[in-house]
Structures are given as C-alpha cells and as structure tokens.
Amino acid sequence: MEPKGPHWRAWWPALLWSAVILGLGSASFDKPSTSRFLAPLIQWFWPDLDAEQIDAAVYWVRKLAHTAEYGVLAILALRAGMLGHGLAIARSARVAFGVTLLVAGLDEGQQALSATRTGSARDALLDAASAGLFLLAAGLAERWRERPLFPLFPSVSSLPRAEPPDPSG
C-alpha cells in the first residue's frame, strides 16, 4: 500500500484519540467521579442489584472501557502505519502496538502522579493485551478478506467474472 499524502495526516486520528485517552486518565475521571453516573445507570437497568454488585459492575464497565479505548487506538495507529507510511499490515501492527504501549505508559504515569488515581502495571498490561487482541482481529480480518476461511462461502472477489460478449461475433 503506497502512502497517500503527507505522512503526518494519517496520524491525526490516532493522536486525537491518544489525547482522549490521556484526558480520561485524568483526575476528572477517577472512580468516584465516574461512579456518580455509572452506578445509577446500572441500577436503572438492573434494579435488583445490591451495592456490592453495583460496585463490581462499575469496576467491570471501567475495565471494558479501557479495553475499548486501547483497542481503538491500536486500530487507528495500524491505519496510520498502513496509509501514512505504506507499511505492510504485520509491520504496521508492530508500530501500532508500540504506540499503544507508549500511550499506556504515559497514561499510567499520569495516574501515578495524581492524588485521586493510581497508576497500575496491571492496567498497562490490560491495555497491551487489548491492543494485541484488536490487532490480531484486524490481521485475521485482512487474511480472511484475501483468502476466505470458509471455502464454501467464497468472497465476491474470488468468484469467476462474466466476460462481456465479443462485439465482433
């Protein structure tokens, strides 16, 4: 894949998403702040939950948000590597994984310096695992697009094409 336009333009979505992640890692989005709106929302959906179950649900919603945040970052960085630099998917995935680790490190470092947050190596590992899973899924999707996993259902590109009739007869 050849680069299209200036390389830096391909990185804007990943850079903006990194800023969103770092903003979400600030003191404004600590557990007490997010619990103020998550707990009532969870209670509204599941009114039979007790306080301990709601706390557990808030915990898992926050962890799933981490997974989604870093998965999206990995895909945006993968896209930037492929479009902005013309890298093959495998090499672009390695670059994307490195970018994700860098942002995860910055995020956890920022949280460690905050009075209301705690930086955690465990969260950085969760972020890395999330990025790895999303990149693996992207790689599998790319492979499936090129070579269907289920030969009984071939992709449209592998079907024989009908040739137009020859006008000369």
Rg for the chain, CA atoms, rounded: 22
CB 21 within 8 A of CB 69: yes
Task: Report CA-CA distances (Å) from 125 to 12, 81, 134, 160.
Answer: 25, 23, 14, 46
Q: How many residues make up the chain in this entry?
A: 169
Instruction: Report the candidate in 31, 101, 78, 85 with the shortest Cα–Cα distance to residue 59.
Output: 31
Report the pLDDT value the prediction gives residue 9, as an integer from 0 to 100.
Answer: 82
CB 65 within 8 A of CB 129: no
Report the pLDDT value the prediction gives residue 164, as an integer from 0 to 100.
Answer: 63
Q: The pTM is what? A: 0.74
Report the pLDDT value the prediction gives residue 153, as an integer from 0 to 100.
Answer: 44
**Is pLDDT of 124 > 90?**
no
Upper half-sphere CA count for residue 104 (Cβ side, 13 Å):
28
Residue 62 burial (CB count, 10 A): 16
- Mean of the per-residue pLDDT values for the chain? 79
Tens digit of each residue's pLDDT (9 = 90 or more) over 2-29: 545 557 788 999 999 999 998 887 666 6
Q: Looking at 57-61, 81-85, 100-104, 114-118, which range is the least confident one?
A: 114-118
Instruction: Report the candidate in 95, 42, 40 with the shortest Cα–Cα distance to residue 64.
Output: 42
Q: What mean pLDDT do residues 50-75 have?
A: 89
Helices assigned H by DSSP within the chain: 7-24, 31-45, 51-85, 89-113, 121-146
